Structure 1
Amino acid sequence: MNKRNFTVLYDYLKHPYASQREVAEHTGLSLGSVNAANKELTNEGFLASDSLTDNGYEALHPYKVENAVILAAGLSSRFAPISYEKPKGLLKVRGEILIERQIRQLQDAGITNITVVVGYKKEYFFYLESKFGVSIVVNNEYASKNNHASLMCVKERLGNTYICSSDDYLLNNPFEAYVWKAFYSAQYAEGTTKEWCIQTGAMDRITNVTIGGSDAWYMLGHVYFDKAFSHVFRQILEVEYGKPETADKLWEDLYIKHIKELDMVIKKYPEGEINEFDSLDELRAFDPHFIENVDSDIFDNIEQVLGCSKSEIHDVYPLKQGLTNLSCHFRTNDGEYVYRHPGVGTELLINRNGEVTALKKAKELGLDDTFIHEDPKRGWKISKFVPNAKQPDPHDAAQMDRMMQMCRSLHESGADVETKFDFYVEAKRYESLLLEKGPIDIPGYKEMAAEIDELERFVQADNAPKCLCHNDFFYLNFLIDEKDKYYLIDWEYAGMSDYANDFGTCSVCCELSENEVDRALDAYFGRKATNNEVAHNYAHIALAGWCWYLWALLKEAEGDFVGEWLYIYFNYGAKYLKKALEIYRKGM
């Protein structure tokens, strides 16, 4: 059946006994096209007296929508900070929760077999099962792979299937019970755009997609897979899925890569029909009352600490996402700030009281005067934003000198916190966790571990002073402002430690050469380091490398991919273990 005849037959299904003029108005086809289609459908036995026959129903059956899949697993990191508290699809926009509105629209179109694929904060979506009768599928790889992993989870459910995003606001219900063929929704962009722009050939078939373009139709909103598309795409997905280069790909990337094999057309919608929100400011433009009505502890915290109104908060966007926390930029009438939201499980890793004490001391010392407030119980923090900041180059001698001077200033501050940190103790803890997974049969491991034990005995005999250390002291935790002022940020791991901890961390994580290590050590002391000081600090490079090497082995054993850092940690541990022991054994 051609598209014209399908369109007319489907309209008669929805409007039995409609006049041909009415069908033309419903479908946008010309009256002549409707007349021709009516004749052909009648001759084929699909229509009788402008109503579907049994054969007509049978002819439409292959085009019947079987189900819908709503993708709701992602982090929505661009929608910080609200996405730190709840998934974006559960936000209430113009009085309706986004995913609920979309489920109702699907059900109103007669599509009741709906699967919601969840991942990030998955438990927030479970209520939909009882409220709407949807099926929940969990994507456990949502953080390590892109949205193609969600489709992999439901590959057997792909047939005549709508693929939807949980956080779209569809102005008018676009869903139909019967669909002609696979399509991707699109809206038109006048002028230059960074969107994924669609090129089409005969019969509106999509022939190419480019990221960025001008005066073009671009991908936006829901998609429809027909059975033919689903069959081919499922095969492609199974082949591509395990490849390392596929991990960060969208399913659309796979579609574009195999676009010649996958038959899909464009479906054009007027401007404003499909609404996606990539930022808080975009959402506020669509729903001006959103901020005032949003249920958000984060905005309550900001309002309380800064004494501003929620309506003042704007220019919100995510900053770098660390291993333990999430951070975003925001602006009020009084300036620019950073909101740090603690990651899941950080309460087990971080002593927030110790962090607050360290932050206050760092501000007093002028090491980090960006600090404004932290809640020690819940771990959220507000700091001043440093505009146009850059990070130091650890291989630039002058910049490393500045870092070392700040390190010495911290160590001589006399500050005291509850938290303690010791590389050797931490390494033993990682080793015990690793042994729970089985014997460590790495060649040379036992010999190196024994020498680490020997090194620790020498280190303890030094009776080196304990002081407040940053314990994550390397260039990524420094900022340099436009006036060349240095800030040492991220004090979560600060604690009372051997003073050489920070030097050891810096040497390993900045990947300093041997000459750079020696020069930085002299810069720390402001003079030539003594033989004892060299041995002690070399030992802490070895201990830092060893500790993080064991951490990396544990992560690899748990299925995480550490990459080149596994070797970097090992290499620094082994090299400086040999150097430090050589000095100690000679009796210095």
Structure 2
Amino acid sequence: MKRSQFDVLYAYLRAGEPLTQRQVQAATGMSLGSANAAVRECEALGLLADRSLTDAGAAALEPYRVTNAVVLAAGLSERFAPISYERPKGTLRVRGEVLIERQIEQLLEAGISDITVVVGYKKEYFFYLAEKYGVRIVVNDEYATRNNNGSLWRVRDRLDNTYVCSSDDYFTVNPFESHVHHAYYSAQYAEGSTDEWCITVGAGDRITGATMGGADAWTMLGHVYFDRTFSAAFRQILEEVYHLPETAAKLWEAIYLDHVSDLDMRVRRYPAGVINEFDSVDEIRSFDPLFMENVDSEVFDNIASALSVPKAEIVDFYPLKQGITNLSCHFSAGGQEYVYRHPGVGTDQIVDRQAEFDALFLARELGIDRTFLAGDPDKGWKISRFIPHCRNLDVNRPGELARAMSMARSLHNSDRVLARSFGFVEEGLRYERLLTANGPVDVPGYGELREKILRLSRYADADGFPVGPSHNDFFPLNFLVDEHGHIDLIDWEYAGMSDVASDFGTMVVCAQLSGEQAEEALFAYFEGEPTPVERRHFWAHVVFAGWCWYVWALAKEAEGDEVGEWLFIYYRHAVDYVDALLASYETDTPLLSAPAPRLSAGAVA
């Protein structure tokens, strides 16, 4: 059926009554002449009679009836920090309505009742929709490791005449229809530069490609419609490429664009302001000025209380690099810049927050970490000063490694006591228990290395070196150097009472210091040449640090995580020096310089 004929028949279907020529023109958006010509064609085919839709006309529309809708709601919405730390973006209330509820109600209003919501991140926030609206819930358990192609994969068998929507869109008018002529991607015009996909089209408004970013262009924005032909072709392509390694990171739209010549989709243009997508908190509150007053967010409550500022003055949010155990975002308030740290899921099981905060207060008092401002050890959140234009510690810059080691010495010698204790060997044995839970350790040489580590540990313990407050994650990425050269040591989650050699061990392993650099670090720490006993004891903790994180890496890989080259880096630091140190202890031979490595560091390059 031609598009003009479809538009006329659909206009009559929606009206449910006879229409005048002018009414047909207004309903279809065609010129009066084109509308009249299409009406005559439909009458000639028996699809219209007496200015009304015939049974044949209704039957002719049936292949174009929308079968269902899929609402994608599995994503992390990382750009929407910090609210996305607490709840999925689609559950936010904007202009008095919950985003996903408003969209579901618009679909229902259009007569589309078969609705599937694909959930992942904080999926439990969407479960109530099944009871409230009768939607189907499908769980995408790959939401953290795949892009949105993983969500379409979960519902690929449901793709038919299907609307594909995002849970966090806000449409000022209902864009959904009960019948659609052809597959389309909605679009809105962007004046000036934009980071969105900018569409190129050919004959008949068929999409021929898109570029990420551009200017003064129609951009892919909002909902999409798959017709049966498109769904069948896209499903086949998805099944062909889904398991390729490079596919995991792709948006489904990127897969479509990779095969755009084989997939017939048109562009449907909408006026400015009809489709609204929100990529940040600042964007959503510019759309809804009352959003901040009404938002139910513990994050904003924490910030407002800690800094004594109104919520309306908390602005300029954007996510920072996410760590293994935490989520962090930048914000501004009262003309100052800050970082909000939100604890990752399950971190209360692996991080002693009270011990962390005890260390934070100590580090602030000692001037080692001037960034820490406020937080709650029970809930794990923390506010710090944001340091603009900073960089991480560079051990190759003259004097920086020495300054870091001086910071460690002042911490160790502070005569304070932290409640938590940390030892590399004990920690490594804990990781070993996790490792063996997945089966026996059959790595060649593991048992022999383990026996050497435990033997070396007994010798090092007998040295009688003191324990003191230690950082225990003491490596360059946890140092911030501002534009004036001031250094702060951050991230105190693993701090506790440890052998004073532990921080040196971590630095050597994780910064992959050469023997010369390690000796420079020792000289700075001891404020002079270390004794042979001091040198041997501190180098033993290089071995312990390497072994601890080697076992940790084995455990992670046994769980399916990829550690990469660090597995060998940790292993190398354990095996490089263990024999020389054991020989020094067992023959009572003084260690007068850094032990020579057994393996080549170049093997990791």
Same fold (TM > 0.5): yes
1:265-304: CA deviation from partner (whole Å, max 9, x where unpaired): 1111111100111111111110011111111111111111
Q: Distance in 2 between matches of 1:181 and 1:535?
A: 75
1:52-89 Cα shifts (integer Å, max 9, x gaps):
22322222122111111111111111111111111111
Q: After superposing the two structures, state which structure 1 stretch, 533-542 or 100-109, moved more.
A: 533-542
The 1:334–1:500 alpha-carbon spacing in structure 2 relative to 1, beyond 3 Å, is same
Name the CA shift for 1:564/1:21 in 2 (closer, same or farther; >3 Å): same
Structure 1 residues 33, 95: closer, same or farther in 2, change over 3 A? Answer: same
CA distance in structure 1 between the partners assigned to 2:513 and 2:230 by the alignment? 53
Q: Deviations over 1:412-460 (max 9, x none)?
A: 1112110111111111111112212111111111111111121211221
The CA deviation at 1:521 is 2.5
**Preserved contact between residue 472 and residue 494 of structure 2 (Cα < 8 Å):** yes
Aligned in 2, Cα 1:253/1:394: closer, same or farther, shift over 3 Å?
farther
1:78 aligns with 2:79: yes
Tell me if the contact between 1:354 and 1:417 (Cα under 8 Å) persists in the aligned partners: yes
- Decide whether the 8 Å contact of 2:478 with 2:491 is kept in 1: yes
Pairwise mapping of residues 419-430 of structure 1 onto structure 2 (< 5 A)? 419-430=420-431
Partner of 1:173: 174
Return closer, same or farther for 1:239/1:507 CA change in 2, 3 Å cut-off.
farther
Aligned to 2:331: 330
Q: What's the secondary structure of 2:69's corresponding residue?
A: strand
Question: 2:42 maps to which residue?
Answer: 41
Change (3 A) 1:583 1:396: farther
**Is the 1:188–1:218 contact (alpha carbons within 8 Å) kept by the matching residues of 2?**
yes
Determine the C-alpha separation between the residues in 1 that align with 2:581 and 2:33.
91
1:117-174 CA-partner distances (Å, limit 9, x unpaired): 1111111111111011111111111111111111111111111111111111111000
Give, in whole Å, the separation in 2 of the partners of 1:301 and 1:115. Answer: 35
Does residue 521 of the first structure (1) align with residue 514 of the second (2)? Answer: no
The aligned residue for residue 442 of structure 1 is 443
Q: Aligned-pair distance for 1:538?
A: 2.1
Letter in 2 for 1:3: R
Give, in angstroms, the shift of residue 512 of structure 1: 2.1
Question: Structure 2 CA distance, aligned partners of 1:544 and 1:436?
Answer: 22
2:24 match: 23
Aligned residue number for residue 159 of structure 1:
160
Count matched residues.
Answer: 588
1:18, CA displacement in angstroms?
1.1
Give the whole-Å Cα distance in 2 for the aligned partners of 1:43 and 1:189: 42
Aligned equivalents of 2:255, 2:9: Cα separation in 1: 34
Q: Which moved more, 1:2-11 or 1:98-107?
A: 2-11
- Structure 2 residue aligned with 1:259: 260
| Cα separation, 2, equivalents of 1:309 and 1:127 | 32
- 1:314, distance to aligned residue in structure 2 (A): 0.9
Which residue does the alignment assign to 2:6?
6
What pairs up with 1:491-506 in 2 under 5 angstroms? 491-506=492-507
Check the 8 A contact 1:229/1:264 in 2, yes or no.
yes
Deviations 1:471-530 (A, max 9, x none): 111111111112211110111110001112111111222222333223222222222233
Distance in 2 (alpha carbons) for counterparts of 1:52 and 1:531:
98
Paired letter, 2:382: K
Cα offset, 1:383, TM superposition:
1.4
Between 518-527 and 500-509, the greater mean CA deviation after superposition: 518-527
CA contact (8 A) 1:421 1:497 kept: yes
Listed one character per residue, the Cα deviations across residues 354-373 of structure 1 (whole Å, up to 9, x for unaligned) are 11111111011110111111
Aligned partners of 2:556, 2:123: CA distance in 1, in Å? Answer: 24
Tell me the residue number matched to 1:456: 457
Whether 1:124 and 2:125 are equivalent positions in the alignment is yes
* SS of match in other structure, 2:262: coil
User: How do residues 107-256 of structure 1 correspond to structure 2 at under 5 angstroms?
Assistant: 107-256=108-257
Structure 1 range deviating more: 393-402 or 29-38: 393-402
Matched residue SS, 2:520: helix
Contact 2:25 2:35 in 1 (8 A): yes
| Cα distance change on mapping 1:578 and 1:260 into 2, 3 Å | farther
CA distance in structure 1 between the partners assigned to 2:566 and 2:62 by the alignment: 56
Residue 535 of structure 1 deviates from its aligned partner by 2.2
* Mapped partners of 2:328, 2:21: distance in 1: 59
Q: Which residue of 1 aligns with 2:67?
A: 66
SS of 1:471 mapped into structure 2: coil
RMSD value over aligned CA atoms? 1.4
Distance 1:112 1:445 in 2: 59
Measured in 2, the distance between the counterparts of 1:5 and 1:40 equals 7
- Report how far residue 206 of structure 1 moved: 0.7
SS at match of 1:184: strand
1:399 matched to which residue of 2? 400
Distance in 2 separating the partners of 1:250 and 1:521: 50
Quote the Cα distance in structure 2 between the aligned partners of 1:402 and 1:178.
70
Letter in 2 for 1:21: R
Percent identity between matched residues is 58
Give, in angstroms, the shift of residue 584 of structure 1: 2.5
Q: Is the 8 A contact 1:539 1:577 kept in 2?
A: yes
2:592 alignment counterpart? none
Q: Distance in 1 between matches of 2:585 and 2:509?
A: 21
CA deviations on 1:374-404 (whole Å, 9 max, x unpaired) are 2121111111111222112233342212211
Give the distance between the partners of 1:52 and 1:261, measured in 2 at CA.
35
Contact 2:28–2:35 (8 Å) recurs in 1: no
1:351 aligns with 2:375: no
Amino acid paired to 2:4: R
Residues 40, 482 of structure 1: alpha-carbon distance in 2 compared, 3 angstrom cutoff: same
Asked if 1 retains the 8 angstrom alpha-carbon contact of 2:198 and 2:220, the reply is yes
SS of residue in 1 equivalent to 2:369? coil
Q: Deviations over 1:220-279 (max 9, x none)?
A: 111111111111222222222222222221111111111112111111111110011111
Tell me, what secondary structure is at the counterpart of 1:563?
A: coil
Q: CA–CA distance in 1 between the matches of 2:221 and 2:535? A: 60
Residues in 1 aligned to 2:370 and 2:586: alpha-carbon distance in whole angstroms: 44
Mapped to 2, the partners of 1:153 and 1:354 lie a distance apart of: 43
**Residues 327, 402 of structure 1: CA spacing in aligned structure 2 closer, same or farther, 3 A cutoff?**
same
Q: Give the C-alpha shift of residue 334 in structure 1.
A: 4.6
Give the Cα–Cα distance (whole angstroms) in 1 for the partners of residues 305 and 250 of structure 2: 40
Q: Is the 8 A contact 2:198 2:219 kept in 1?
A: yes
**Contact persistence 2:186–2:268 (CA under 8 A):** yes
Checking the alignment, whether the CA contact within 8 Å between 1:373 and 1:383 is kept in structure 2 is: yes
TM-score, normalising length: structure 1: 0.97
Q: Matches of residues 437-586 of structure 1 in structure 2 within 5 Å? A: 437-586=438-587
Which secondary structure state, in structure 2, belongs to the residue aligned with residue 260 of structure 1?
helix
Structure 1 residue 175, shift from structure 2 partner: 0.4
Structure-1 separation of matches of 2:45 and 2:566: 69
User: How many Å separate the matches in 2 of 1:330 and 1:531?
Assistant: 49
Q: 1:67 to 1:394 in 2, by over 3 A?
A: farther
Structure-2-length-normalised TM-score:
0.95
In structure 2, the partner of 1:50 is 51
**2: CA distance between counterparts of 1:511 and 1:284?**
46
Cα distance change on mapping 1:571 and 1:238 into 2, 3 Å: farther
Q: Per-residue CA shift, 1:25-73, capped at 9, x if unaligned? A: 0111111111111122222222222322232222212211111111111
Conserved 8 A contact 1:470-1:494: yes
SS at match of 1:217: strand
Q: Structure 2: which 5+ residue stretches go unaligned?
A: 590-605
